[in-house]
Every structure is written in C-alpha cells, then in structure tokens.
Amino acid sequence: MKKKLNVVNYIVLLGATAFFVFPLIAATEFSLRAKNATTHNFDNYIWVFKQDGFKTTLGTSFRLAILTAVAVLILMVPTIVYLHLGGARWKRFIEFVCLVPLVVPVISFALGVQTAFPTFLQSTVYELSFLYVVISLPYTYRALDVGLSSIPLLTLVEASRASGASMRQTLMFVVVPTIRSAVNGAIFLAVALSLGEFTLAVLLHWDTFPTWIANISQGHILGAISLSVLALVGSWLLVLIVAIAPKSFGSNKTQEVAA
C-alpha cells in the first residue's frame, strides 16, 4: 500500500512539474523567435531593455519592494513575538485585523489614501509601500506566526535576556536568525506582492514596473512574452538570493550576545 502511495505521489509531482515547466519552455521559445518566425535570437529581449522607462520603473518597483519588506519586518516581528510571549489575549484581534485586507476591495484602499494619508505622503510614490504593507499582512502574518510557533521562543528569550542582551538585541540576533526560513518567506511574499501589484498603482496614477509592462506590451506581442519571461526569471533569482543568503546571518552577533 505504501509503495502505491509513493508511485501516486511521484506521478502527481511529475504532472505538476510538467504543467509548470512546459508552458515556460514554450514561452521562452516563443520569445526568442525573430520577426520572420524561422530563426531565433535575442532581439525581443534587446527591444525590452531599449524601451523608455524600463530602468526607471524597475528601479521604482525595487525601491518600493525593499521598503515594504523592511516595514513588514519592523512591524510584524515584534508584534507576533509579543503575541507569543504574553499577549495571547490580543491574538484573535490581531489575526482579524490582518485578515481584513482579504475582504476589503483594493479600490477602497486607494480611495482611503486620498483622505487618510497626509498631503506630503500623497505626493510621493512611496505611499504605495504603506499600502503594500497592509495588503501583504494576511500572508506575512501567517508565515511569521508559523515560524515562531515552531521554536521554544520563551526559552530563547529568557536565556538571551539572562545573558545581558536587550530586547532589541534578542530580536535581531536570536529570534530572527532562529526563524530565518519564516522571515525569508515573509520577505519574499512582501517583495513579490510589491513587484507584481498593478491595481493600486493605476488607481493612484503612479508609474511602476507592472503598469509599464501593461502599457509597453500592447503593441508588441513578442516583446510582451519576453517581458513575462524576464519577470518570472527575475522573481526566481530574487527567491534564490534570499534562500542562499548566508545561514550564519547574525550567528557571530548571537555568540557575542551569549558571551
């Protein structure tokens, strides 16, 4: 019976892999086609890099993504640590607040910005980062909550504090490195949402990489496919960078704090 289950698992895995890989291979091949459709080259990708606004909008989206990821960690890590240490009575309320963005239409956030945000913030594209933080809460909260639930948090914190570390040092050099995979997941979710979010940028009339892709792709189908492949490969590279970042992050500091 167990062997049959293993065979079924492998079949499902192979089927899912094929479902994902074959369209990607087809899209890559299609993006490499020349205009005469008989040869292959990188002209479509060169066309993408030569378009006005490519570097500007991509840089804008990356800055927004970095700011969003940093803001999410600063906001959510101390909050969830508090919930696990002594704020259990607030956990249901925080969970409810973090789930609200799933049921509130995105256009409501855009309209709320016009009345809730101060004028100086409405005049800069970085207002989008605050909205990205909000709409990423359902995903980043769950990732960090699961990570903290899997470790003896109270023991780690008490040991760190007994060694003379402040709470800030404990969070940075003990808790965060211990839940590194959960932190990486939260960062990836926040960055992926920031790089791919389209509706808010359009409603608030800001030029970001997704809006640039939508505008530039309308008159060049091969260029549009090339952009899609580039965006997908870029996302993979970003995930890879986050995944293979040195696992010893903070280990030296942790030893210093423990000493």
pLDDT in tens, 118-169: 888 888 999 999 999 999 999 999 999 999 998 998 899 999 888 888 888 8
**pLDDT bucket at 243, cuts 50 / 70 / 90:** low
CA–CA gap between residue 108 and residue 201 (Å, rounded):
13
Query: Residue 218 above 90 pLDDT?
Result: no
Give CA separation, 183 vs 12, 120, 132, 152, 243, in Å.
29, 31, 17, 16, 11
Structure tokens at 213: 């892709």
Cα end-to-end span (Å), the chain? 53
Give CA separation, 72 vs 112, 116, 255, in Å.
20, 20, 27
**pLDDT bucket at 19, cuts 50 / 70 / 90:** confident
Give CA separation, 207 vs 154, 162, 231, in Å.
45, 50, 17
Name which CATH class applies to 52-258.
mainly alpha
**Tokens 């704020």, located at residue:** 87
Q: How much is the mean pLDDT over the chain?
A: 83
Give CA separation, 171 vs 114, 142, 146, 176, 251, in Å.
35, 18, 17, 6, 13
The pLDDT of residue 68:
93
Compute the average pLDDT of residues 76-100: 91
The pLDDT of residue 245:
61
**pLDDT bucket at 215, cuts 50 / 70 / 90:** confident
